Chain A
Amino acid sequence: MSTEIWLTLLACAAGTLLLRMLPLLWMQRHLRRRDPVRQGEAMPLWLTVLAPTMIAAMLGVSLIPVSETASGWLATVLASVVTVLVWRRTRSLGWPVCAGVGVFGLVSVLALLSM
């Protein structure tokens, strides 16, 4: 890689780090100025709404299967349902994910075998 590309890489890395770091520093300063007992209320409402909606958006984007075929979508739907059901039963993080991936794999293999 040329020197220019190295510098571009470093600029992108530094910029990305600052995008992640500076807003935290800003909010920490903002919270320090407020009453420490009522920090939750010091958070702007729009910010507390945006956090779960960002996660929901990540979910929407990630739901699209790598292979956008009928079997890929079927595997996504069935695995999502199983993930929710296992979560309702266990209220844990790991087991629902394992079950979801397992069902996704099973449907994918069955689809492959039936072809």
Chain B
Amino acid sequence: MSNISAWRLGARDALPLLGGYIPVAISFGLIAVQAGFTAGAAVLISTLIYAGASQFLFIAMVAAGAPLWLVIVMTLLINARHVVYGPNLAPYLPSGRLWPWLMHGLTDQIFALAHTRLPQLLESQRLGWYCSAALIAWGSWIAGTALGAVAGAEITARWPLLGQVLPFALPALFIVLLAPRFTSWQWTCTLGSTALVALALKLAGHSNLAIPLAALCGAVVFYLLQQQATRTEAQHEH
């Protein structure tokens, strides 16, 4: 596969993300303008912070007049889950000064895609694939924000169903990324319980805690099952 093909593959892999990113970005643009930010400021927030949940929190807290140090702390706390993404990709990233800066594009979804796709690519193709996928995702987030800030109210009024249907692209993408990992009883229990805990936490209103807390619960399940398997194996040997 040539470098151009890697860029093309990255673009194709990132396409499902648009279904999830654009409707949420439109909502963000609309809410930011309603909260008193200009369209330009909303676009700049999406360009620079580029992290969905924390951006909504940023505008809500600033609009409510919260202390600005608290805005920074809360934004970073919500984004703290990102600390496990880079290290997991590190073995697949060739050396280069560009890579650390490219981590700006490492959202939840790009991480999920990259964690599956990068090991399948040659080292020389990884930069092209990552840049292509990350740029499409980033671009769609910025464009969606601009669209929402300028015409969000009109769009949501005219096509209300679009905003309900397109976001299913994200769970569908995660299903496809996870499906090959259901390779054993241990992984099935771990991943199944993680998804259920995250779902329950979100339904209970703990949106910001749901991902890191559920992932930790899943890791605990994994270790418990492994411990049990090791114990059973030891008993059989005796």
Show the binding face of A for B, using Cβ within 8 Å.
Answer: 1, 4-5, 7-13, 15-17, 19-28, 30-31, 39-40, 43, 46-67, 72, 75-76, 79-80, 83-84, 87-88, 93-94, 96-97, 100-101, 104-105, 108-109, 112
Chain B: interface secondary structure? Answer: helix
Chain A: interface secondary structure? Answer: helix
- Beyond known contacts A93-B16, A105-B165: 4 more, CB 8 A cutoff: A12-B76, A47-B84, A59-B195, A108-B165
Whether the pair A20, B86 counts as a contact (CB closer than 8 A) is yes
CB distance from B48 to the nearest CB of A (A): 4
Whether the pair A63, B171 counts as a contact (CB closer than 8 A) is yes
Q: List 27 A-B contacts (CB under 8 A).
A: A7-B68, A8-B68, A9-B44, A12-B48, A12-B54, A16-B75, A19-B76, A20-B83, A28-B95, A46-B219, A49-B190, A50-B215, A51-B88, A53-B222, A54-B81, A54-B211, A55-B111, A55-B178, A57-B197, A59-B174, A61-B202, A62-B174, A63-B195, A80-B175, A83-B172, A104-B165, A109-B161
In the A-B complex, the 4 residue pairs with the closest CB atoms: A60-B198, A24-B86, A53-B218, A100-B172
Whether the pair A79, B81 counts as a contact (CB closer than 8 A) is no
Whether the pair B76, A16 counts as a contact (CB closer than 8 A) is yes
Whether the pair A23, B86 counts as a contact (CB closer than 8 A) is yes
Whether the pair A19, B198 counts as a contact (CB closer than 8 A) is no
CB distance from B141 to the nearest CB of A (A): 13
Show the binding face of B for A, using Cβ within 8 Å.
Answer: 12-13, 15-16, 19-20, 37-38, 41, 44-45, 48-51, 54, 58, 62, 68, 71-72, 75-76, 79-91, 93, 95, 99-101, 103-104, 106, 108-109, 111-112, 115, 161, 163-179, 181, 187, 190-192, 194-203, 207, 210-212, 214-216, 218-219, 222-223
Cα–Cα distance between A52 and B176 once the two chains are bound (Å): 12
Closest A residue to B164 using CB positions: A66
Whether the pair B79, A61 counts as a contact (CB closer than 8 A) is no
Query: CB < 8 Å: which of B91, B95, B187 contacts A40?
Result: B91
